A and B are shown apart, each in its own frame.
Chain A
Amino acid sequence: MPQHTFVLNGQQVTVDVEDDVRLLWVLRDILGVTGPKYGCGLGVCQACTSHLNGKAFNPCCTPVGDVQATDQVTTIEGLPATVGKDLHPMQQAWLDMDVPQCGYCQPGQIMAAVAKVLQARAAGQQLGDADFDQIRNICRCGTYHRIREAILSAQNQF
């Protein structure tokens, strides 16, 4: 069985699994990292959104064979460490606004939000309506408005 090595939340991990198994299942079913959620397995709902080398991606659509040994995979569990804190400012904003209801989508929402802010910042912009239109994460509890408030309040905090 092929071996795959990558850096997960700052630590190198190696797993024995077939190349085509999507990273979501490697994380959840083999490594027991359950922050990224399954919501569709189709790259639609964005509940599994995590970061690969600092950019948002969907592990449900990424074969583990596509991940290189030096790739940094960051899940919600590893997000605070990227800023050297116990909580990332985006997570703190989520708490301040009391965003979560059931909470199932929120790890993916937060990971997408952080990436969206960094993307806008790289383009020299603050987040606007057009950027919110690009956040495709589903929240079936309908917390979208508080998500907007949390992102706007956190975007200059990191």
Chain B
Amino acid sequence: MSTETEQPTGVSRRRFLGYVLAASTLTVAAQLGEGAAPAVAAVPGVPEPADLYDLNDMLTDAALATSSLITITVNPDGTATFALPRAEVGQGITTSTAMIIAEELDLPLSKVQVSLADARPELLFNQLTGGSNTTISTYTPVRVAAATAKQRLLEAAADELGVALSALSALQGVITAPDGRSLAYADLAVKAASLTNLQISVTLKAASAFTVIGTPQNRIDALDAVTGRKQFAMDVQVAGAMPAMICRPPTINGTVVSVQNQAAVQAMPGITDVAVVSTGVAVRGRTFGQCIDAVRALQVTWGPGSEDAATDASVLAELRAAENPLVTPPLPLLTSAVDARFTFHFASNSALETNCAVADVQPGSATIWASVKAPITAQEEIAAKLGLPVSAVTVHVTQGGGSFGRKLFQDAALEAAEVSQVMGKPVRLMWHRTDDFRHGRAHPMSISRVRATYTLGQVLTLDQRHTSVATEFGHGLGEIITSSVAKLPVGGLTFSETIFSLTQQTPYNFGVTTQLLTEVDNGFHTGSMRNIYSPNVRCAQELIVDRLAAAMSQDPYHFRRQFLKDPRAVAVLDQVAQAGNWGRTMAPGTAQGIAIHPEYHGFVAVLAEIDCTPATVNRQIPDAVTGPRVTKVVCAVDVGLAVNPKGLQAQMMGGIMDGIALTLTSSLHLAGGHFQEGSWDNYFYTRQWNTPPELDIHVMPPTTGTPGGAGELAVAGAMAAVACAYGRATGTMPTTFPINHDQPLAFTPLPTVPPIPQSPTDGLSRTF
């Protein structure tokens, strides 16, 4: 509740400066980053960098110095509008932001409209959606702006009604005087506007007065979603923007040497253009179906790619060779150790909406429509690619059909811009699903060696050496690190090492703890996937924690409880243990697993129950991987302050499904320079038949009074809990993830030439 306390000086920490901007209707603003909390205080024990100052502190601090204004407008119809400089990709930030505005403005939630801002270069690196940082960094600025609006409306009402401002009350968009006379915001919006820019001081609501923040609310875009009206990039109607696709090489980063039949393909039904571009051969046509036909008909001679000989085994060997040795300090006699190495295979962050963008490049200007989480970087890269000044490129941020890290990069927007420029026509460019798995960015393969030593009931050391194919961070985080590097407690590291240091924490008092990242820089397209390094790093750690508990003859729950650093962590762990009936008698072949994960100024605990009995493992479902079934998950989450508990539960639910997939079923198999997977019946993300029949998610009451991050938090905890449950059910600690990766492929790989498969024609024989 730090924001609610009075400082020794007597100045309330709920008092901030807002701006009233010159406009025809009430327009207010606040600076992004204002009120950002300083780095959190040290915790007992030997702190790691992320304990003291984490990725979110960096992202929030980065907003302080350079940010420009965010603006809320109160319209003459009594509604409020706000263009959020972030990307909505399903995480629910338009809803939570509307709630924050509704709260501080005392306006019904239904009268708050939140859209997504175009790329705003003046925001510098303050328009990046990542690291689960949106609400952490925008909570106070949005409140300040909304409170400024309310203050102006009250002033206007006081003037209009001839009543002292302090006697007025605002409720649900109406200001009422003691004598019962009232004015709606609609009546005041124009009067409250200012002819000049003003700076005024406002006081934010006390948390005790909240009536919207902290209450479960449905998403503001749900109606559009369930009626098919929600508009994604490929649904935007732009005159002349016809479908376009790319014929891609058979191996990663292969290049076009020559095209044998360009004229013949250009003459195919519906096709208007065929052109060689930097990533392959682009086709444009009346329908995507005809583009698929054209891509399949192209006869292309391809040059080699960047990893043509690579296989899972060759990359694994590279990682093993690069792994830093563990340095064990001198230890007392009778010290024992647990030591294991874990392998995490390539995984796909492909969303259900494949990479796509609309581009209309004209001589001297370009307009792009795409869901991009780093729109300023997109704008800069597109401008550079097209040879245009940045100011000539407009990037409209559309609603995104999922991201999971994928939309941190703007691969499709860059391609669409290039294709539109080369063809001299607007295009609606979309990746085929098969390309999205094979040429889209992948979460890198990694290995993690963990060694812990213990004696006399104490854990003395924990060392972790995480060795990974390089993760690309070239999407704006790099800019932030460059500008923030002076204040980081981890000077001298690479970008990736910095991200690793700022995200990885050990929640336990395990003595001397070291966690190091080593990267092998290959020619793969990589990117972070939901929760970046944490699912793999923390899964490895939690499995070792189970090992330590067993070695020290302790119960996994009580062992964790004894060593946890933070009471908030203990509270979520206790919650799942109690609600999930930890320790209940389980049938042979089934077991519980429990794990905890701290990140984004929050804590999550997950208790999973798994069924590894043959009857379940061998369930037959066509074209599916069944295997062990997670039958129940209990989750408890403390994000400090849950703005929208219902949305937070949704994010936990999604993260749990990701964690189940990462442990049990989903990975990419590398062979012959390309990934074998080419459809959702090859890449086994969680499906209905893998979904736990019982799911119980507990949102803890507010603890810190300020919101932490939600979108990624559950993945690591869920992955670890499922892995621990699997280890306890089978009696064998899993060391390769997902556990089925080394089994024979559960599908027949699609060909690579032509690069994409034809759509089936048997739709009418499969109706139900």
Residues of A whose CB lies within 8 Å of any CB of B are 17-18, 20-26, 28-30, 32, 34-45, 47, 52, 55-63, 66, 75-77, 80, 87, 91, 94-95, 98-107, 110, 115-116, 119, 129, 132-148
Can you report 9 residue pairs joining A to B where beta carbons are below 8 Å apart? A21-B287, A38-B234, A43-B766, A94-B226, A98-B650, A101-B402, A110-B226, A133-B688, A143-B654
Within 8 Å of chain A (Cβ to Cβ): is B404?
Answer: yes
Whether B693 lies near A38 (C-beta < 8 A) is: no
Q: Which A residues are CB-close (under 8 A) to B234? A: 28, 34, 38
Docked CA distance A139–B687 (Å): 8
A116 and B768 CA atoms in complex are apart in Å by 7
In whole angstroms, what is the CA distance A101 to B691 when docked?
Answer: 17
Q: Flag if B92 contacts A101 (CB, 8 Å).
A: yes
Contact, CB under 8 Å: A146 / B353: no
B223, A95: Cβ atoms closer than 8 Å: yes
Check if B759 sits within 8 Å of A133, measured CB to CB: no
Q: Which B residues are within 8 Å of any A CB, using their own CB?
A: 89-92, 218-219, 221-232, 234-235, 237, 242-243, 269-270, 286-290, 292, 350-354, 399-404, 430, 432-433, 621, 623, 646-647, 650-651, 653-658, 679-681, 685-689, 691-693, 695, 757, 759-764, 766-768
From B227, B231, B763, A77 is in contact (CB under 8 Å) with: B227
Shortest Cβ distance from B217 into A: residue? A98
Question: Which residues from A are CB-within-8-Å of B761?
Answer: 20, 22, 61-63, 66
Q: Are B222 and A104 in contact (CB under 8 A)?
A: no
Nearest-CB distance from B412 to chain A (Å)?
13
| CB-CB under 8 A for A26 and B352, given A62-B764, A129-B693, A144-B657 | no
Contact A18 B270, beta carbon cutoff 8 Å: yes
A52 to B764 CA separation, bound complex (whole angstroms): 9
A103 nearest CB neighbor, chain B only: B225
Which residues from A are CB-within-8-Å of B623?
44
Do residues B763 and A61 form an inter-chain contact, with CB atoms below 8 A? yes
**A17 partner residues in chain B, CB cutoff 8 A:** 286-287
Complex contact B235–A34 (CB within 8 A): yes
Is the Cβ of B646 less than 8 Å from the Cβ of A98? yes
CB of B768 within 8 A of CB of A29, answer no
Contact of A94 (CB < 8 Å), options: B222, B290, B768: B222
Distance in Å: Cβ of B73 to nearest Cβ of chain A: 26
Which residues of chain B have C-beta atoms less than 8 A from A147's C-beta? Answer: 688
Is there contact, CB below 8 Å, between B290 and A21?
yes
Q: Pick the 3 closest A-B CB pairs, nearest first.
A: A35-B228, A142-B657, A102-B90
Residue among A47, A52, A104, A141 having the largest count of chain B Cβ atoms under 10 Å? A141
CB distance A42 to B222 under 8 Å?
A: no
Chain B residue at minimum C-beta to C-beta distance from A94: B226
Known A-B contacts A45-B352, A142-B653, A144-B686; the reply to A56 vs B768 at CB < 8 A is: yes
A104-B352, A140-B351, A145-B653 known; A77+B764 contact, CB < 8 A = no
Chain A residue at minimal CB-CB distance from B646: A98
**Contact between B688 and A135, CB atoms less than 8 A apart:** yes
Neighbouring A residues of B232 by C-beta, 8 Å: 37, 104
Given A57-B766, A101-B91, A140-B352, CB of A40 within 8 Å of CB of B679: yes
The answer to whether A56 touches B767 (Cβ under 8 A) is: yes
Most chain B beta-carbon contacts within 10 A, residue among A24, A116, A119, A145: A145
- Complex Cα distance, B691 from A148, in Å, reads 10
Question: A135: nearest residue on chain B (CB-CB)?
Answer: B688
Could you tell me if A105 and B226 are in contact, using CB atoms closer than 8 angstroms?
Answer: no
Tell me the complex Cα distance, A21–B623, Å: 26
Across the interface, do B762 and A143 meet the contact criterion of CB distance under 8 Å?
no
Could you tell me if B270 and A95 are in contact, using CB atoms closer than 8 angstroms? no
Chain B residue with the shortest CB-CB distance to A111: B228
Chain B contacts for A148, CB-based, 8 A: 688, 691
Q: A21-B289, A39-B680, A148-B691 are in contact. Are A140 and B685 (CB under 8 A)?
A: yes
Contact yes or no, A42 B759, CB < 8 A: yes
A-side contacts of B401, CB under 8 Å: 37, 102-104
Closest A residue by C-beta to B650: A101
Extra inter-chain contacts (8) besides given A102-B353, A107-B226, CB under 8 Å: A25-B243, A25-B289, A38-B430, A61-B766, A80-B227, A140-B351, A142-B686, A144-B691
A80 partner residues in chain B, CB cutoff 8 A = 227
Bound Cα distance from A21 to B287, whole angstroms: 8
Nearest chain B residue, comparing its CB with the CB of A45: B680
Q: Determine how close the nearest CB of chain A comes to the CB of B229; give it in whole angstroms.
A: 8
Could you tell me the distance between the alpha carbons of A34 and B224 in the complex, rounded to whole angstroms?
12
Is B763 in contact with A62, judged by CB distance below 8 angstroms?
A: yes
Bound: A14/B692 CA distance, A? 45
What is the distance, in angstroms, from B673's C-beta to the closest C-beta of chain A? Answer: 23
> Quick one: which of B352, B679, B767 contacts A102, CB cutoff 8 A?
B352
Q: Which residues of A contact B695 (CB under 8 A)?
A: 145
CB of B289 within 8 A of CB of A24, answer: yes
Given A40-B679, A98-B646, A142-B654, decide whether A22 and B759 contact each other with a Cβ distance below 8 A: yes
Contacts of A101 in B (CB 8 A): 90-92, 219, 402, 650-651, 654
Q: Please report the C-alpha to C-alpha distance between residue A58 and residue B680 in the assembled complex, in whole angstroms.
A: 15
Q: Are A98 and B290 in contact (CB under 8 A)?
A: no
* CB-CB under 8 A for A26 and B763, given A38-B234, A44-B681, A106-B226: no
Tell which of B288, B354, B647 has the most Cβ of chain A within 10 Å: B288
Closest beta carbon of chain B to A64's beta carbon, Å: 9
CA gap between A104 and B401 in the complex, in Å: 5
Docked pose: A110 CA to B763 CA in angstroms:
18
B621 touches A107 (CB 8 A): no
Across the interface, which residues of B come within 8 angstroms of A35, CB to CB? 227-229
Chain B residues, CB < 8 A from A41: 288, 292, 432-433, 759
- Contact present for A58 and B763 (CB under 8 Å): yes
Which residue of chain A has its CB nearest to the CB of B92?
A101
Q: Which of B89, B289, B650, B679 contacts A44 (CB 8 A)?
A: B679
Give B661's nearest chain A residue, CB to CB.
A142
Contact of A61 among B235, B287, B687, B762 (CB under 8 A): B762
Of residues A58, A77, A98, A129, which shows the largest number of chain B Cβ atoms within 10 Å of its Cβ?
A98
In the bound complex, do residue A26 and residue B650 qualify as a contact, i.e. CB atoms below 8 Å apart?
Answer: no
